[in-house]
Amino acid sequence: MILTSEEHSMLAGDQGKAAQTAMQILTALGRIYGAQRMIPVRSVQIAGVSYDNLGEAGLEWLTEMAAGEGHVRVPTTLNPAGMDLENWRVLGIPADFAEKQYRVIDAFTRMGATPTCTCTPYLAGNLPAMGDTIAWAESSAVCYANSVIGARTNREGGPSALAAALTGRTPEYGMHREENRRPGVTVDVQTRLSDTADFGALGKIIGGRLEILGRKVLPWITGVDSASVEQLKSLCASAATYGGLAMFHIPGITPEAGSRPPSGNTITVGGADLLAAKQSLSDASAGEADFVSLGCPHLTLGEVARIAELLDGKQVAKEFWITTSRPVKRDSDRLGYTEIIERSGAKFAVDTCCVVAPIRGRFRAMATDSAKACYYAASKNRFKTRFLDFTAVVEEALVK
Ligand code: F3S
């Protein structure tokens, strides 16, 4: 790789141990993927923040990087942590876990990262512009940034995202290159999509079909005339989970779609496909849920408002987590939604989520509108799943 004098200086250790380690990570990645040079990044989002995922080895590494004069050079936010950083006791998080989680956050903040822990950084102050080069790690946010915003990012791992933050650089390969952002297959949706759950199910179908065609083929999705931020984030989360997808195009909705279909195959998705995908996300033996969660990816303020409206004057009968970012929660506080929601017995789980919190085996069955959450509920937390639309999830929480 051709490096600038500044990059050579970091690699030589002239700018501290952490910058040196970071540049070593990035040059190794660049060599593996055939990058010719480094390019500057404008924004970073780091995953691997929950102590439940990091463990002791991860915490030690972060502590070493912070001690090695590591300091971020660009705006940097974090993925969800393993707990609500202000209200972890209410969620039943053990004190020894909380102590470790605070040490993780402390290491990141000593390096200058903003401790806004969310998988929707674009809703919480870390919003790149179209064409910006960024280094984000959370897979749903990566797909959203590439597809919906038109910013450019590979799916970084925790260490490579931190390395990008500490150097302000990333190797130029993959989604940073124009030729890898073009669609290669048409997905013709021949059924109406009406809720976040429908978009999540579509993401599962597309992800599954592209697994067969090869992950590098980007879909050009037709038959979707409109989509809200909430629906797009649901599609992103699911397509990234089930197909490793980093980008899709929807003509008329996403900025790089253009108007001409790709010359490759066409996949059709009909009503029966959508129904089958939705059914596959629920366990037949789940029965009634004992845990209910909305907010995978983290909720928008509009979704929080919708929950408040549905819960107003009612009492929940189940453990119900409402997961969102701290900035959205603050707006919810000001607008009175928090009071309505908490009066119902539902709990905000801010800075965290039902997947990265240490709740493995704590519940039997979870109800959610998130196809991504279903995947991890089963694989990580050993919960059975009930996949429902948004309103039905809230109703499930009310069933005694
Ligand atoms: Fe976000 Fe957790 Fe889902 S990080 S995308 S809410 S699994």
What's the 376 CA to ligand 1 centre distance in angstroms? 9
Tokens of 162: 């931190």
Tokens of 227: 């989509």
**What are the pLDDT digits (tens) for 358-386?**
999 999 999 999 999 999 999 999 999 99
Q: Give the 3-state secondary structure of 22-62.
A: HHHHHHHHHHHHCCCEEEECCEEEECCCCHHHHHHHHHHHH
Q: Whose CA is nearest to atom 7 of ligand 1?
A: 355
What's the 231 CA to ligand 1 centre distance in angstroms? 15
Task: Please give the pLDDT value at position 215.
Answer: 59
Pocket of ligand 1 from Cβ distances under 6 Å: 79-80, 119, 140, 237, 296-298, 323, 353, 355-356, 372-373, 376
What's the 79 CA to ligand 1 centre distance in angstroms? 8
- Angle formed by the axes of helices 196-213 and 229-243, to 10°? 30
- Apex CA 298: angle with CA 296 and CA 301, to 5°? 130
> Which atom of ligand 1 lies nearest, measured to the CA of 138?
4
What's the 262 CA to ligand 1 centre distance in angstroms? 31
Tokens of 254: 């996403």
CA distance 190 to 167: 46
What's the 17 CA to ligand 1 centre distance in angstroms? 32
Mutation probe of ligand 1 site: the residue of 79, 233, 294, 355 with most atoms within 8 A of C-beta = 355
Q: Whose CA is nearest to atom 5 of ligand 1?
A: 297
- The alpha carbons of the chain give a radius of gyration, in whole angstroms, of 21
Q: Whose CA is nearest to atom 6 of ligand 1?
A: 296
CA distance 287 to 139: 30
Task: Please give the pLDDT value at position 264.
Answer: 78
| CA separation, residue 10 to residues 25, 110, 166, 169, 380 (Å) | 12, 19, 10, 11, 38
Region at 365 (left for phi over 0; alpha for psi -120 to 50; beta for the rest): beta
3-state secondary structure of 260: coil
- Angle formed by the axes of helices 51-67 and 158-167, to 10°? 30
What's the 62 CA to ligand 1 centre distance in angstroms? 22
Task: Please give the pLDDT value at position 214.
Answer: 64
Low-confidence residues in the chain, pLDDT < 50: none
50 and 81 Cβ atoms separated by less than 8 Å: yes
Backbone phi, psi, residue 258, to 5°? 65, -170
- Name the DSSP letter for residue 284: T
> Which atom of ligand 1 lies nearest, measured to the CA of 80?
4
Task: Please give the pLDDT value at position 115.
Answer: 97
**What are the pLDDT digits (tens) for 101-117?**
999 999 999 999 999 99
Q: Whose CA is nearest to atom 1 of ligand 1?
A: 297
CA distance 152 to 139: 13
- Apex CA 299: angle with CA 296 and CA 269, to 5°? 55
Mutation probe of ligand 1 site: the residue of 138, 140, 325, 375 with most atoms within 8 A of C-beta = 140
CA distance 365 to 208: 24
Cβ atoms < 10 Å from Cβ of 84: 25
What's the 373 CA to ligand 1 centre distance in angstroms? 7
Read out DSSP for 206-258?
HHHHHHHH-TTPEEEEES-----HHHHHHHHHHHHHHH-----B-TTTSTT--
What's the 380 CA to ligand 1 centre distance in angstroms? 13
Mutation probe of ligand 1 site: the residue of 77, 117, 144, 296 with most atoms within 8 A of C-beta = 296
